[in-house]
Copies of this chain bind each other. A is one copy, B any other.
Amino acid sequence: MTHQEKISIPTLGRGTVNLTEKIQTVVGKSGVPAGMCNIFVHHTSASLMLCENADPSVRSDLETFMSRLAPDGDPMFEHTAEGPDDMPAHVRSVLTGNSLSIPVEAGRCMLGTWQGIYLWEHRSHPHTRRITVTVQD
């Protein structure tokens, strides 16, 4: 049995949005007691990750790391149609991925104590990001 729900998430530009409670609500409403939850983002310049949920400096350090790994405006990139953050956003998305698969137990995603579900916006400007949540038992 497949339960699917689409959600739209506004972002404030580059940075993370904590989706954990929103996803747990969708999984609870699905009525699936045990199975799998998949979260999928329909874009190539935003990604999804599980990340430490207690200390915000973990997420800011991840930004720092990515800014060094794929700097905005790097002259090695040819694809600059939408600005200096365009190609770095694609690189970050490919490295971190478009979907998460999480086991479901007792009607909830079985996250570890320190695991939060985050949307990671990689573009400088705010966007609205479309996400599909699929729960299967």
Contacts and interface: CB of A to CB of B under 8 A. Distances in A.
A68 to B, nearest CB: 7
Copies in the complex: 3
A113 B44 CA distance: 9
A128 interface: no
Contacts of A55: 79, 81
Given A91-B62, A96-B95, A105-B4, A36 B68 contact: no
Given A2-B137, A90-B61, A114 B38 contact: no
Interface residues of A, number: 56
A79 B98 contact: no
Given A95-B96, A100-B99, A64 B38 contact: no
Given A38-B101, A62-B90, 17 more contacts: A2-B34, A2-B35, A2-B137, A35-B136, A36-B38, A36-B134, A38-B103, A42-B112, A44-B115, A60-B78, A61-B91, A62-B94, A65-B76, A69-B69, A94-B96, A103-B132, A110-B132
